[in-house]
Amino acid sequence: MPRDADPITGADDLVELIRTYNPKTDESLLKAAYAFGEEMHAGQVRHSGEPYFTHPVAVAAILAQQQLDDATIITALLHDTIEDTRASYNIVAEKFGSEIADLVDGVTKLTNLQLSSTETQQAENFRKLFMAMSKDMRVILVKLADRLHNMRTIKAMRPEKQLKKARETMDIFAPLAGRMGMQWMREELEDLAFRVINPEARASIMRRFITLQREAGDVIERITGDMRHELDKAGIKAEILGRAKKPYSIWRKMQEKEMGFSRLSDIYGFRLITGSEEDCYRVLGVIHRRWRAVPGRFKDYISQPKSNGYRSIHTTVSGRDGKLVEVQVRTRQMHEVAETGVAAHWSYRDGVRAENPFAVDPAKWIAGLTEQFDAEEDHDEFLEAVKLEMYADQVFCFTPKGDVVKLPRGATPIDFAYAIHTRIGHACVGAKIDGMRVPLWTRIKNGQSVDVITADGQTPQATWLDIATTGKARSAIRRALRELDRDRYVRLGRELARAAFEHVGKKPTDKAMERAAKTLRLKDRDEVLARLGSAELTAQEVLNAVYPDLTPKTGAEVGRDRAVIGLAPDQRFERAPCCQPLPGERIVGITYRGKGVVVHAIDCEALQSFEEQPDRWLDLHWHAGRHAAVYAATLDVTIGNDAGVLGRICTLIGEQKANISDLTFVDRKPDFYRLLIDVELRDAEHLHGVISVLDADSDVAAIERYRDPRRTSGSTEQI
Cα 429 from Cα 413, distance rounded (Å):
10
Write the CA distances from 651 to 144, 496, 501, 531, 673, integer angstroms.
Answer: 61, 8, 11, 19, 17
Relative to beta strand 428-433, strand 404-408 is: unpaired
Secondary structure E strands in 209-295: 238-244, 268-274, 292-293
For the chain, helix (H) and strand (E) counts, in that order, are: 28, 22
Alpha-carbon distance 608 to 587, whole Å? 14
Q: CA nearest 73: which of 37, 113, 121?
A: 37
Q: Are 399 and 424 in contact (CB under 8 A)?
A: no
563: β partners: none
The one-character DSSP state at 402 is -
SS3 534: coil
Grouping H, G, I as helix, E, B as strand and the rest as coil, residue 22 is coil
The set of catalytic residues is: 83-84
Strand partners, 622: 564
The C-alpha atoms of residue 232 and residue 247 are separated, in whole angstroms, by: 33
3-state secondary structure of 589: strand
Q: What is the DSSP letter of 170?
A: I
CA-only gyration radius of the chain, Å: 34
Residue type, 459: T
Q: Are 555 and 682 in contact (CB under 8 A)?
A: no
